[in-house]
Amino acid sequence: MRVALVAIAVAACGGAAVAPPAGSTPDPLVGLWGADLDFDVGPSGTLHVVPVGDGWRARLGTTCRVPLTVDGDELTGDVGGGRVRLRRAGDALGGFWIQPPTVADPGYASPLALVRDPDGAYHATVAPLRPNVHVYLSIAPDGGALRAFVREPGHNLGRQLGVMTVARHGDAVELRTADGTVALHGRLAGEHLELTVDRIGLALELTRRGRDAAPGFYPRPAGATTDLVTPADLGDGWPVGSPAAVGLDEAPLRALVQAVAEAVPTSPRSPAIHAIVVARHGVLVVDEYFAGHRADGVHDTRSAGKSFTTTLAGIAIDRGELALMAPVYAAIGAAPDDPRKQDIQLRHALSMSTGLACDDHDADSAGNEDRMQAEADWVRYTLGLPVAHPPGEHAAYCSGTLNLVGAAIAGPKRAWLPERLHADLMAPLDIAHYYMNLQPDGQGYMGGGLQLRTRDLAKLAQVFLDRGTWRGKRIVSAAWVDAATSAHASLNRPDDYGYGWWRIRYHVGDATYDAFYASGNGGQLAIAIPALDLVVAIQAGNFNDYPTWRTFLEDAVPRHVLAAVEREAP
């Protein structure tokens, strides 16, 4: 993190605003402003599921009981603004809460921990994912002008605006981007700043914020520790301990945590690390959170979720349900509209080398993820893309083809993927709290976007480090670990991509370490370094800012984490 940490160090010393000249009166706009947006995702509380005669009824909180549809062992129904999808197995009842989409997020399925009551009824806690959006506007003097930038930690909406100039005429306020476009405009009303974002039709009422009222802007509130703290034992399968107990020098780790914790953003491209997790020899030794995030809270994994998709495919292959050479269209149960598509095999979808006209890095590409997600049926849309290359000849980053892997796992009978993910991967990994985003038809989306705790994201890297096992339990075969982390495609660099896993080589001093990692937009990383028996997970909010978040992988990890074990290099 050479560039990123230099920026952090400067910001920590200088702060977000430049002090006005002595004797001058600061402009009333100078300072940090914030607005908190909330979206209705339906009620939360206790879900009750009660047998009534030959049927079942459910209620959430104070809502009325509603009948559930019974189809064999499956119970479904709309309850209190959401939906339940449950399955009976003897006296046990398990299932999911399905929350509807909002303007900020897609719908999600999250597992329910249903408990059987003495009277034969069941109850569980429903806690939908709330897409709270926090918008911060930092305004500071710059010579004789005012400069401003927006910091929005959930989606990094301020990146496209860049650093803006601020003009005030009386109470009227305008913020212009570098090309002179008016990005925000409104008025100053006492301690409130009322602004409108015309481009998206959003009205904001911002209030002044101090360090303790801006958790998404400042990494930690005033007075919070900036030192390493021993991770908490959350009963999630991770043994916990100190870095020293596993042969790690705490000094470089402490330096990283302190640099992140003490930083103050000075631009929309300032590093926005939200979590750092380090485990060695299977022991969790660093579990640090910033910008309002917590160890028990989830974070968007973006495309790091693709590594869960390919692992689920590996489990299906281990069971003989799928094969690497299986034609994708046949596995899904779809008829190809072009005879050349019959040659597209599962291995091509796993390595993003199907040859379909799809490139997420090209806004004009027919298969671009944004275009796909504007359609009603994402799988059908991707299957219908034109052929651009013979399969296996050319690789291009395409989330839609990883979603086809999910459709192949579901098979022609369209098994519901949230159930499959939970039974085959999440439950065996002791991952109980997560949200899986859904497609418009209600099927799980396998192109990325799982909402997970960072220490649960790190578990997948640990599984692959431990040759397919978690705490002695076999999750996926060692053969699949080798296959998934071997080179099958060249996306950014030669031979840098396997099946859902990226490959990197670290150089620290005279030592070289091969590593593989899951990666997602914004800085979602789960890294395994086999030679050091080391796992590192980082989650961040530098979305759509690849040059910034790439430094977390390429500089922060070797500079601060691998340096802690450099003395043990062979």
pLDDT at 19 over 60: no
500: closest CA among 278, 369, 301, 313?
313
Q: DSSP states of 306-372 as a string?
A: HHHHHHHHHHHHHTTS--TTSBHHHHHT---SSGGGGG-BHHHHHTT-S-BS--TT-TT-TT-HHHH
pLDDT at 156 over 80: yes
Give mean pLDDT, residues 531-543.
98
pLDDT at 564 over 60: yes
Task: Give how far the C-alpha of residue 334 lies from the chain's centroid of Cα atoms, to the nearest Å.
Answer: 30
Residue 105: predicted pLDDT: 76
Global pTM? 0.94
Tell me the C-alpha distance between 502 and 66, whole Å: 47
Q: Is 496 exposed, middle or buried (0-12, 13-18, 19+ CB in 10 A)?
A: middle
Which H or E run includes 258? helix 250-262
Q: How many CA atoms lie within 13 A of 570 on its CB side?
A: 5
DSSP code at position 179:
T
240: closest CA among 281, 290, 273, 276?
281
Is there a common fold for 2-36+132-213 and 303-461? no
Higher confidence at residue 101 or residue 11? 101
Query: In Å, how far are 338, 479, 536 from 233, measured between CA atoms?
Result: 54, 32, 18
Q: What is the pLDDT of residues 173-187, one digit of tens each?
A: 999 999 999 999 999
Buried/exposed code over 220-233 (b: 16+ C-beta within 10 A; e: otherwise): beeeeeeebeebee
Tell me the C-alpha distance between 527 and 226, whole Å: 24
Contacts of 177 (CB under 8 A, 6+ apart): 161, 162, 164, 183
Residue 40: predicted pLDDT: 83
| Share of residues in the chain with pLDDT > 70 (%) | 95
> Is-contact 310 350, C-beta < 8 A?
yes
Average pLDDT of the residues of the chain: 93
Q: What is the pLDDT of residues 495-522, one digit of tens each?
A: 999 999 999 999 998 899 999 999 999 9
Q: DSSP states of 493-542 as a string?
A: STT-B-SS-EEEEEEETTEEEEEEEEEETBTEEEEEEGGGTEEEEEEE-B
Contacts of 72 (CB under 8 A, 6+ apart): none
Residue 203, Cβ neighbours under 10 Å: how many? Answer: 10
Give mean pLDDT, residues 129-144.
92
Task: Give how far the C-alpha of residue 40 lies from the chain's centroid of Cα atoms, to the nearest Å.
Answer: 21
pLDDT at 12 over 70: no
Domain 303-461 has CATH 3.40.50.300: no
Confidence band for 43, pLDDT divided at 50, 70 and 90 = confident
Confidence band for 567, pLDDT divided at 50, 70 and 90 = low
Residue 20: predicted pLDDT: 47
pLDDT at 11 over 80: no
DSSP code at position 476:
S
Q: What is the pLDDT of residues 388-404, one digit of tens each?
A: 999 999 999 999 999 99
**Domain limits of the chain?**
2-36+132-213, 45-126, 303-461
Query: What is the identity of the amino acid at 152?
Result: E
Q: What is the pLDDT of residues 223-247, one digit of tens each?
A: 998 899 999 999 999 999 999 999 9
CATH placement of domain 2-36+132-213: 2.40.128.50
pLDDT at 14 over 60: no
